[in-house]
A and B are shown apart, each in its own frame.
Chain A
């Protein structure tokens, strides 16, 4: 039982490049989330998916897109990376709305 896994762990992009962050959970959870963590700001929600086939914007969605591929997988795409997107990205899942969230180990992204 791996919990929540994320790939890659580290990534360096040049401004304007695109990439997709992958997330998978093996707990049969309905809800999945993408957060970004910046120093002194805690974690901020980018997008979430309440169930397979649905996605919704969070607090800071601009510049990102997501896909809930199936119940297990939820990917985050940066179409044209900007230096402001340098951050640590965490995927999380929960069994239901309001429930506590299980977090993955994070992806550290640097955009130069």
Chain B
């Protein structure tokens, strides 16, 4: 069965600083991996996804993530954070033909002016 951990419950960064949100997964084969963002009171929006191929994937809003099979990780990065990036971020893992994703517990990002 799949599982996802996001070790950081809450991260605070200054505007303009770089960001890395950690995600570790457990899955027996090559998974499908996703990052979603949720602004307060809103639904979840897909930031980026990894299915196969290039292990560095680019997403919307200047985010990228790198799949590292050896570390079972799929960390999300952004070189320069904007105040509007303050939100909750969820990593999810899915099986290629499976219906469900397993979501991590989320990391709440606060941005200082």
The chain A residues found within 8 Å of chain B, CB to CB, are: 4, 31, 33, 40-45, 48, 50, 56, 58-59, 90, 92, 97-98, 100-106
Contacts and interface: CB of A to CB of B under 8 A. Distances in A.
A33 B94 CA distance: 14
A41 B105 contact: yes
Interface of B: 4, 9, 32, 34, 36, 41-46, 49, 90, 94-101, 103-106
B6 to A, nearest CB: 8
A102 B46 CA distance: 8
A105 B43 contact: yes
Given A44-B103, A97-B98, 8 more contacts: A4-B43, A33-B100, A59-B100, A92-B44, A97-B97, A98-B98, A100-B34, A100-B46
A103 B106 CA distance: 16
A58 B43 contact: no
A106 B46 CA distance: 15
Contact of B99 (A31, A43, A100): A31
Contacts of B100: 33, 45, 48, 58-59
A40 B99 CA distance: 23
Nearest to B94: A98
Contacts of A103: 36, 43-45
